[in-house]
Chain A
Amino acid sequence: MPDSKPYLHPEAISRITRLEMRARHIVEGFLSGMHRSPYFGQSIEFLQHREYVQGDDPRHVDWKVWAKQERFYIKQYEEETNLRCLFLVDVSKSMQYQSGALSKYDYGCTAAVSLAYLLLKQQDAVACVPFDDRVRAQLPFKSTRQHLMAVIESLKTLKPTDKTGMFKILKKVAETYPRRGMVVLISDLLTDRDSLMKGLRLLRQRGHDVLILHIMDDEELDFPFQGPTRFEGLESDDLLNCNPRALREGYLKALEKFLEDVRIGCAKNVVDYKLIRTSEPLDAVLATFLSNRLGMHHRN
Chain B
Amino acid sequence: MLEFLNPALFPFLWLAAIPIAIHLLNLTRRRRVQWAAMEFLLESQRKNRAFVWLRQLLLLLLRMAAIAILVLIFARMVFLNDLTLLQGNQTHHMVILDDSFSMSAQDSRSETPFLRAQQAIVRLGQRAADEGGNHRFTLLRTSQTQPDFLEKLVQVNFAQELQQRLEEISVSSLSSGPESALEQALEWLPTQKQDQKILYLVSDFRSKDWEDTQRITALLREFEQEKTKLVLIQCEGAPPANLSLSSLRSVSRTLVADVPLFLEVAVTNFSQDPQTDVELLIYEDNTLRPGSRIDLIPPGETRTKRFQVRIPTAGNHTVRVELPNDSISLDNARETVLQLPLAIKTLLIDSSPDGRNARYVQSALDPGGNTKTGNTTQIELPGFLNSNDLSEFQVIYLTNVGQLDPPAIEQLEDFVKAGGGLGIFLDGQSKAEFINTQLYRNGEGFFPAPLSEPSKTLMDQLQERFPFGITPVLQRRWEELMLAQDENLPDVQRSVHPIFESFAEERNSLLDLVRIDHLWRLDPEWEAGVNNRTTVAAEGRIPEITVFDPNAENPIQWTSRYVPLVLDRPFGDGRVVSVMSSASTVWNNWARNPSYVLMLLEMQSYLAAPTEGTITRQVGQPLVVEWDAAEFFPELDIERFQEGALENSVELAGEAANDEGDRLGVRYDSTFDPGIYSVALRPIDGSERSLKTFAYNVNPTEGNLQTVSSTQLATIMEGITYTFTRAGAFRGSDADGGDIKLYDLLLYWLVILLLLEQTFAYFQSYHPPATAGVEGVS
Could you tell me which A residues sit within 8 Å of B by CB distance? 93-95, 97, 104, 188, 190, 216-217, 220-236, 238, 240-256, 258-259, 275, 277, 280
Cα distance A37–B37 in the bound complex, in angstroms: 42
Which of B35-49 touch A at CB < 8 Å? 35-45, 47-48
Across the A-B interface, the 5 shortest Cβ-Cβ residue pairs: A250-B44, A222-B773, A94-B36, A254-B40, A246-B52
Given contacts A225-B766, A228-B30, A231-B33, contact A238 B38 (CB under 8 A): yes
Residues A230 and B33 in contact, CB atoms below 8 Å apart: yes
Cα distance A256–B43 in the bound complex, in angstroms: 12
Residues A251 and B33 in contact, CB atoms below 8 Å apart: no
Cα distance A184–B48 in the bound complex, in angstroms: 37
Residues B766 and A224 in contact, CB atoms below 8 Å apart: yes
Cα distance A93–B45 in the bound complex, in angstroms: 23
Q: Chain A residues with Cβ under 8 A from B42's Cβ?
A: 238, 240
Cα distance A248–B774 in the bound complex, in angstroms: 11
Known: A256-B774, A259-B774. 6 other contacts (CB 8 A): A188-B36, A230-B32, A230-B33, A233-B36, A247-B41, A255-B40
Residues B775 and A256 in contact, CB atoms below 8 Å apart: yes
Q: Chain A residues with Cβ under 8 A from B778's Cβ?
A: 277, 280
Tell me how far the C-beta of A165 lies from the nearest C-beta in chain B, rounded to whole angstroms: 16
Q: Chain A residues with Cβ under 8 A from B29's Cβ?
A: 227-228
Tell me how far the C-beta of B188 lies from the nearest C-beta in chain A, rounded to whole angstroms: 59
Cα distance A94–B30 in the bound complex, in angstroms: 22
Cα distance A240–B39 in the bound complex, in angstroms: 11
For B772, give its contact among A222, A228, A238, A241 (CB under 8 Å): A222
Query: Would you mind naming 13 contact pairs between A and B with Cβ atoms under 8 Å apart?
Result: A97-B34, A224-B766, A225-B766, A226-B765, A231-B35, A234-B36, A242-B41, A243-B56, A246-B56, A247-B41, A256-B774, A259-B777, A280-B778
Q: Chain A residues with Cβ under 8 A from B483's Cβ?
A: none
Interface 1/0s, chain B 506-545, versus A by CB < 8 A? 0000000000000000000000000000000000000000
For A243, give its contact among B32, B37, B52, B768 (CB under 8 Å): B52
Tell me how far the C-beta of B76 lies from the nearest C-beta in chain A, rounded to whole angstroms: 36
Residues A230 and B30 in contact, CB atoms below 8 Å apart: yes
Q: B32, B36, B45, B775: which has the most chain A beta carbons within 10 Å? A: B36
For A240, give its contact among B41, B56, B775 (CB under 8 Å): B41
Tell me how far the C-beta of B54 lies from the nearest C-beta in chain A, rounded to whole angstroms: 10
Given contacts A230-B31, A238-B38, contact A254 B43 (CB under 8 A): yes
Given contacts A247-B48, A248-B766, contact A190 B33 (CB under 8 A): no
Tell me how far the C-beta of A233 lies from the nearest C-beta in chain B, rounded to whole angstroms: 4
Residues A220 and B766 in contact, CB atoms below 8 Å apart: no
Q: Which residue of B lies closest to A223 (CB)?
A: B773
Tell me how far the C-beta of A299 lies from the nearest C-beta in chain B, rounded to whole angstroms: 21
B8 within 8 A of A: no
Given contacts A221-B777, A226-B765, A277-B777, contact A253 B36 (CB under 8 A): no
Cα distance A71–B155 in the bound complex, in angstroms: 119
Q: Chain B residues with Cβ under 8 A from A225's Cβ?
A: 31, 33, 766
Cα distance A223–B37 in the bound complex, in angstroms: 10
Cα distance A230–B774 in the bound complex, in angstroms: 23
Cα distance A244–B37 in the bound complex, in angstroms: 13
Cα distance A229–B31 in the bound complex, in angstroms: 5
Chain B count of residues within 8 A CB distance of the other chain: 35
Q: Chain B residues with Cβ under 8 A from A226's Cβ?
A: 765-766
Interface 1/0s, chain B 757-772, versus A by CB < 8 A? 0000000111010001
B55 within 8 A of A: yes
Cα distance A216–B775 in the bound complex, in angstroms: 14
B27 within 8 A of A: yes
Residues A246 and B55 in contact, CB atoms below 8 Å apart: yes
Residues A246 and B31 in contact, CB atoms below 8 Å apart: no
Q: Chain B residues with Cβ under 8 A from A221's Cβ?
A: 772-774, 777
Q: Chain A residues with Cβ under 8 A from B35's Cβ?
A: 97, 231-234
Which of B736-778 touch A at CB < 8 Å? 764-766, 768, 772-778
Q: B35, B45, B774: which has the most chain A beta carbons within 10 Å? A: B35
Q: Chain B residues with Cβ under 8 A from A242's Cβ?
A: 41, 45, 52
Cα distance A254–B46 in the bound complex, in angstroms: 11
Given contacts A222-B773, A249-B44, contact A254 B39 (CB under 8 A): yes
Q: Chain A residues with Cβ under 8 A from B55's Cβ?
A: 246
For A190, give its contact among B31, B39, B48, B775 (CB under 8 Å): B39
Q: Which residue of A lies closest to B32 (CB)?
A: A230
Q: Chain B residues with Cβ under 8 A from A259's Cβ?
A: 774, 776-777
Cα distance A248–B39 in the bound complex, in angstroms: 13
Given contacts A246-B48, A250-B45, A254-B44, contact A224 B38 (CB under 8 A): no
Tell me how far the C-beta of A106 lies from the nearest C-beta in chain B, rounded to whole angstroms: 14
B26 within 8 A of A: yes
Q: Chain B residues with Cβ under 8 A from A217's Cβ?
A: 36
Q: Chain A residues with Cβ under 8 A from B27's Cβ?
A: 228
Residues B37 and A255 in contact, CB atoms below 8 Å apart: yes
For B34, give its contact among A95, A216, A227, A232 (CB under 8 Å): A232
Cα distance A232–B773 in the bound complex, in angstroms: 21
Q: Which residue of B lies closest to A193 (CB)?
A: B39
Q: Chain A residues with Cβ under 8 A from B765's Cβ?
A: 226, 245
Given contacts A226-B765, A229-B33, contact A240 B773 (CB under 8 A): no
Cα distance A234–B39 in the bound complex, in angstroms: 11
Which of B396-416 touch A at CB < 8 Å? none
Q: Chain B residues with Cβ under 8 A from A248's Cβ?
A: 44, 766
Tell me how far the C-beta of B30 lies from the nearest C-beta in chain A, rounded to whole angstroms: 4
Given contacts A228-B31, A247-B52, contact A97 B36 (CB under 8 A): yes
Residues A247 and B45 in contact, CB atoms below 8 Å apart: yes
Q: Chain B residues with Cβ under 8 A from A241's Cβ?
A: 30
Q: Which residue of B lies closest to A246 (CB)?
A: B52
Cα distance A232–B48 in the bound complex, in angstroms: 19
Q: Chain B residues with Cβ under 8 A from A222's Cβ?
A: 768, 772-774
Given contacts A232-B34, A252-B774, A259-B774, contact A224 B768 (CB under 8 A): yes
Q: Chain B residues with Cβ under 8 A from A254's Cβ?
A: 39-41, 43-44
Q: A250, A252, A258: which has the most chain B beta carbons within 10 Å? A: A250
Cα distance A173–B653 in the bound complex, in angstroms: 118
Q: Which residue of B lies closest to A232 (CB)?
A: B34
Cα distance A295–B774 in the bound complex, in angstroms: 25
Residues A190 and B37 in contact, CB atoms below 8 Å apart: yes
For B44, give its contact among A227, A232, A253 (CB under 8 Å): A253
Q: Which residue of B lies closest to A217 (CB)?
A: B36
Which of B173-227 touch A at CB < 8 Å? none
Q: A221, A222, A240, A247: which has the most chain B beta carbons within 10 Å? A: A247
Q: Which residue of B lies closest to A97 (CB)?
A: B36
